[in-house]
């Protein structure tokens, strides 16, 4: 008997040939123990390596796997919007495909979601020293800025472990094209009155490939989007194009000025 509702697990992927098979394998070890109804979605964001080939081979063997391919690279924001919109299950989990957290932590997140009657669980990293001083400083400053500008208490807004109920996606519109989309998603959920809680997890840095999330171009785009989308993110209007249909849902409860808990 299933312990938890149906789950969609979504991975964005750009040139991740070394990680796709590992990520899908780990998901298949964990998800069947938690639910009888799940799907795994990989969005191949116009990769130029063997990511598509590896995905196609896996999809031929794994019926729960769906692969969506972008003909042109849409960056993290575009890949996330595609994956979130394609989800069909009651709960939606977003993770980087290099698995920076132990997939077995999902059971704890699901338990907390039930116990706390939460709409979203956001994980934060206990220890980031393995990333090096530059990325630690970038992250500290960015998280401090997001907390100050949006009056929230989220510790690690860009970390890719976010578990959410489908009603969150059905009630908002996301517009970011780049890495600001993590903050846009979390802040809009909080500002709309959804119950957002945090949990700490051990962090495992990537050991293959190269992350571009701390490159100057990515950071510049993130700052530009923060400036352009600030008014809408702080006071989100009713969505004209929700991340996921149906276009409107009944929130669990509405709390004006509600901030994330942790």
Closest Cα to residue 145, out of 133, 158, 134, 132? 158
In a domain, 143, yes or no: yes
Average pLDDT over residues 76-90: 96
**Residue 255, in any domain of the structure:** no
pLDDT at 34 over 50: yes
- Number of folded domains that form the chain: 1
For the chain, the straight-line distance linking the first and the last C-alpha, in angstroms and rounded, comes to 31
Residue 242 falls inside a structural domain:
no
CATH code for the domain in which residue 171 is found: 3.90.550.10
| pLDDT for the residue numbered 217 | 81
pLDDT tens-digit series, residues 204-231: 986 665 555 556 788 889 999 999 999 9
Q: Any idea what the Cα angle at residue 227 is, between residues 243 and 123, rounded to 5°?
A: 55
| Residue 261, domain member (yes or no) | no
Query: What is the C-alpha separation between 255 and 258, in angstroms, rounded?
Result: 5
- Does any domain span residue 247? no
Element holding 128 (H helix, E strand): none
Residue 201 lies inside a defined structural domain of this protein: yes
> Cα-flanking dihedrals φ and ψ of residue 216, to 5°?
-55, -40
Mean pLDDT score of the chain:
90
Burial of 188 (0-12, 13-18, 19+ CB in 10 A): buried
The pLDDT of residue 133: 82
Within a domain: residue 241? no
Q: Is 196 left (phi over 0), alpha (psi -120 to 50) or beta?
A: beta
Q: Which domain holds residue 112?
A: 7-234
Give the pLDDT confidence of 119-156 residue by residue, as tens digits. Answer: 999 999 998 777 778 888 888 999 999 999 999 999 99
Report residue 120 as tokens: 């979203």
Question: Is 80 exceeded by the pLDDT of residue 246?
Answer: no
């Amino acid at each position: 008997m299933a312990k938890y509702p149906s789950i969609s697990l979504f991975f964005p992927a750009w040139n991740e040939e070394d990680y796709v098979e590992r990520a899908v394998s780990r998901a298949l070890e964990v998800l069947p123990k938690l639910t009888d109804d799940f799907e795994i979605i990989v969005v191949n964001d116009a990769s130029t390596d063997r990511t598509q080939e590896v995905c196609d081979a896996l999809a031929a063997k794994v019926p729960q796997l769906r692969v969506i391919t972008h003909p042109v690279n849409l960056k993290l924001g575009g890949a996330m919007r595609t994956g979130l919109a394609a989800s069909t299950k009651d709960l939606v989990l977003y993770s980087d495909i290099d698995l920076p957290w132990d997939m077995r932590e999902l059971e704890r997140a699901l338990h907390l979601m039930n116990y706390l009657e939460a709409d979203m669980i956001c994980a934060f990293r206990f220890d980031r020293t393995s990333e090096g001083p530059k990325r630690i400083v970038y992250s500290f400053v960015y998280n401090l800025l997001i907390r100050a500008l949006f009056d929230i208490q989220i510790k690690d807004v860009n970390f890719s472990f976010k578990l959410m109920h489908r009603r969150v996606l059905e009630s908002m519109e996301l517009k970011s094209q780049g890495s600001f989309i993590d903050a846009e998603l979390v802040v809009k959920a909080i500002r709309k009155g959804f119950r957002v809680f945090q949990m700490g997890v051990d962090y495992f840095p990537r050991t293959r490939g190269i992350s571009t999330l701390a490159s100057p171009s990515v950071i510049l785009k993130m700052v530009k989007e923060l400036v352009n989308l600030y008014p809408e993110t702080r006071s989100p209007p009713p969505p004209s194009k929700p991340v996921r249909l149906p276009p409107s849902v009944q929130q669990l409860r509405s709390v004006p000025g509600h901030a994330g808990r942790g």
